[in-house]
Structure 1
Amino acid sequence: MPSSSSTTSARSPRRPRRRRPQGGKPQQQPKKRSLFDEVGVTAVDPAPFADLGLPARLVRALADNGMSEAFPIQAATIPDALTGRDVLGRGQTGSGKTLAFGLPLLAMQQGNARPMHPRGLVLVPTRELATQVTDSLKPLAKALGLYVREVVGGTSFNRQVDTLRRGVDVLVATPGRLADHVRQGTCVLSEVERTALDEADQMADMGFLPQVRELLDLVPADGQRLLFSATLDGDVDKLVDRYMTEPVVHSLAPPAASVDSMEHHQFLVSATDKQAVLARIGAREGRTIMFVRTKHHADRMAKKLRAAGVPAGALHGGKAQNARTRILEEFRSGETSTLVATNVAARGIHVDDVSLVVHVEPPADPKDYLHRAGRTARAGATGTVVTLVTDDQREAFRTMAAQAGVKAKTTTVRPEDAELARVTGAREPSGVSLAAPKQRDTPRSRGANPRNAKRPERTANEPSRRRRPTERGHDDGRRSDNGNRRGQAPSGRSARRGNRGGARQA
């Protein structure tokens, strides 16, 4: 752990909570600087958890789980959060944000939550991040006699209802599924005392802020807010204006700092060599994440890699939650060495020791480049980011890289080139085809037989059974985590469908 880190700490001027306008055209406001830009930079050293004001039982639980010293973002934010102040924090993936908001939520909970009335709430953009946050807080909550549970799409709605009815002290949720529970009356937010928003900028990018605002409007206005984000621009800044009061601002070094801990490469490849190059990269030692644009491309790429002998799995929003969880666990354990993922899935991938990120095609948005690259070089480590670029993509990559603040070394490579092996560790794959995962991969398939499988013959007296149609999965970039269009709140029809509608959440 580094001895110090650049951190910003400041109290912003008082800004009262804003109510939703009743009508009329909003007045044009002059463009203002982000709160993160209004404060200076100071050095904040890591500190022992015992010095931050946390309960002794919680400090012991942290020690039992191998944690005794707080990361800089934790050391900076936890004392202010424990006083009940609203806290606004900026930190990159791997900086320790989960415990920065999670420990104060646990420390100030009284327990004995009423059925369906959580006292603490954490909103996150993806199922995978919800699971990560829940898994991080559960053992610590147990030491305090508290219950931390998650509600996300793609899992049984009715089982979540049973969990909520037993009482939950801290609820971790994706916005779409929580909105479904609220509309069906199976979760009531009127007693939430503290709310944390993690990866707020990613929720904005994914179109979830209308649902987030809908939920925050149901939480008591005098409750505490803890908001963590890598950036504070556009819609996130408006969220701060509307729902936070006198937030204390803490910021790690700006996003460009994390880019410097990575080695960036632009590999010029021909279309005919591209798949062979990817197979050799996938055969390297260590964890590799390859990013593609669509879920169908992810499935095809993983299939081709397995055919070449590379243990690969595809992760995208079209897969059932149990399949996504399994694939991530196999990647964490090393059973699968290469993960092929889409942008939406990238938001929830938090796996340590990923040493190489590969953009199979250059991303169009510099934010996507930085989010994807952030899967490596976590918690102070270094990493390599490679982008495969064909001749017709060179100018687009140059423009995007400049916007992202990235200086990539350009090299023309062939599958057998030594430079490819030097940078990525690429080597010849085994060529022995690997079996595809047996579990079902799409949340909408009904039954075990694929669509074209041979049906068993019916006897003369057996009644005919109509097969339910299988719906096609939605593209990752066009649907929110409850199956609605990005930026739309859940429809009344969706809310009435119960667990059937909820099963379509991402």
Structure 2
Amino acid sequence: MHLMASTVSFSDLGVERCLVQALDNKGITEPFEVQREAIPDGMLGRDVCCRAPTGSGKTLAFGLPLLSRCRRSRPKLPTSLILTPTRELAVQIYSVLTPLAAKVDLNVLAIYGGASYRTQIRALERGVDIVVACPGRLIDLMQKGSLSLEDVDIIIIDEADRMADMGFMKPVCDILDRCYPERQTILFSATLDDEVDDLVRRYLHDPVKIEVGPKEVSMDNMQHLFWLIRGPMKTKIATEAVRKCGRSIVFCRTRAGVDRVGEEFEDNGLSVATLHGGLSQRERDRAMKRFKEGDCIALIATDVAARGLDVEDVASVIHYDPPENGKAYKHRSGRTARAGAQGTVISLVQKPQRKACQHIQRGAGINYRITPPDYSQLPDIEVGFFPPPDPKRKNRNQSSRRNGQRNHNRPQKNGGQRNGRGKRGGPHGRNQQNGNRRNGGTRNHRGGNRKGGKKSMKPNFRR
């Protein structure tokens, strides 16, 4: 029996009082639709197959039943498992569930690549009740003998469609085969076709099927612009679009492209964060934190790194490089216009890409003319600022330096020039930059002295 949304509380859904109180303390008092639909059956131990979009409240929809039913574990033998396609999503789920788990005397561990094996292994040896994991690192630890899944009797598969897109279905099946046979399985996915449907048929037993929201990413609240541009003007047009729109995600095809575009954006006076698979987990976490907290106006990212992102109030998505196909276009574009808000999606199209662009439009179910850039089509926020120096921030060229790709003499703001580092004391050495720093010299940073310079005000880009 389904109660009217206006009368339902978490207590009505069977959630424990201590968890209800913890949610109330966070200002979460009324369950979302996906939570109203999924929690009751999850609490009864039934298998659940739910189609729901990202950002609909899925984490609590599966997390609250999990916390209510999870058993205490033994060393190296977790009893509950949550599978996610990306590190970022694993961290998000971990951060939501950990404080709630403490209320019911359970502990949670996030397992993903890029983090210390030793830390994860030690936690497993002490005993972990709930593991939130990416398939690759989880299988690595299983092969090392650091954990076994034989006691796992509750398993959650989140964003199953993206697992399929990223080629994780075989590892997911291998993991499911190693779990306790009489388990509860809960699956969430934005779509329930192809490989996801095969997974449901093979591993879920008489599941309750729930569908929330539109079957696909809605294009209705998005303004779609396809701008024909010349290559040399690409970054200038993209930065101007971000200035007009505000908080934006910019998609590039490659890691090197992300690094290059990030530098070019900052050279044009915009503070950005970059996200790609070549960064360490700490660097990725720092980038996401800066973007979420409004410390930068744009996130420059690759497709894979941006999967699973759950960021509110993104005003625009810019396809700096074209997506692979119509499905990828919808995935990228779905980062804006969420929860009924409006959003702008801009595709930068060069002449040789026009045919491919039309093919992408057909795959996405849209049809728009490719026109010259027209800034009057954009909102006029006009962000104009150059970020102050941040001495704690690592040089964004780090990944390029490792590959010997750094441009040592790229022109800088206000006519300055970045000096590459040679041997200490050499012609480009540390001691030769803008005077000998050991002898009282100061370091010139983006055209202004670090000492005695006028401090810029850093705006918050929350909209």
Same fold (TM over 0.5): yes
Instruction: Establish whether residue 62 from structure 1 lines up as the match of residue 23 from structure 2.
Output: yes
RMSD over equivalenced CA pairs, Å: 2.8
Q: Which of residues 43, 62, 68 is equivalent to 1:101?
A: 62
What's the CA shift for 1:439?
A: 6.1
Paired positions, count = 408
Q: 1:106-125, aligned counterparts within 5 Å?
A: 106-111=67-72, 113-125=73-85
Q: Which of residues 234, 257, 264 is equivalent to 2:194?
A: 234
Q: 1:40-439, aligned counterparts within 5 Å?
A: 45=5, 47-111=8-72, 113-256=73-216, 258-284=218-244, 286-408=246-368, 410-413=370-373, 419-425=374-380, 427=382, 429-430=384-385, 437-438=393-394
What's the CA shift for 1:404?
A: 1.1
Q: TM-score, normalised by structure 2?
A: 0.82
Higher deviation after alignment, 349-358 or 371-380: 371-380
CA distance 1:296–1:424, change in 2 (3 Å):
farther
- Uncovered stretches (5+) of structure 1, i.e. residues with no partner: 1-8, 10-41, 414-418, 447-451, 458-506
What's the CA shift for 1:400?
A: 1.3
What is the identity, as a one-letter code, of the residue corresponding to 1:165?
E
CA distance 1:454–1:367, change in 2 (3 Å):
same
| Distance in 2, Cα, partners of 1:371 & 1:106 | 30
Q: Report the secondary structure of 2:28's partner residue.
A: coil
Instruction: Determine which structure has greater relative contact order: mean sequence separation of CA pairs < 8 Å that are 6+ residues apart, divided by chain length.
Output: 1
Q: Report the secondary structure of 1:267's partner residue.
A: strand
Higher deviation after alignment, 249-258 or 287-296: 249-258
* Identical columns (%): 41
Contact 2:47 2:184 in 1 (8 A): yes
| Distance in 2, Cα, partners of 1:443 & 1:348 | 26
Q: TM-score, normalised by structure 1?
A: 0.75
1:301-327 alpha-carbon deviations (Å, 9 max, x no partner): 001011111101211011111100001
- Uncovered stretches (5+) of structure 2, i.e. residues with no partner: 404-419, 426-463
Which residue number corresponds to residue 33 of structure 1?
none
Contact 1:318 1:443 in 2 (8 A): no
| Distance in 2, Cα, partners of 1:267 & 1:444 | 33
What is the identity, as a one-letter code, of the residue corresponding to 2:394?
K
Q: Report the secondary structure of 2:156's partner residue.
A: strand
| Distance in 1, Cα, partners of 2:210 & 2:232 | 49
Contact 2:241 2:378 in 1 (8 A): no
Contact 2:217 2:331 in 1 (8 A): no
| Distance in 2, Cα, partners of 1:371 & 1:320 | 24
| Distance in 2, Cα, partners of 1:121 & 1:361 | 36
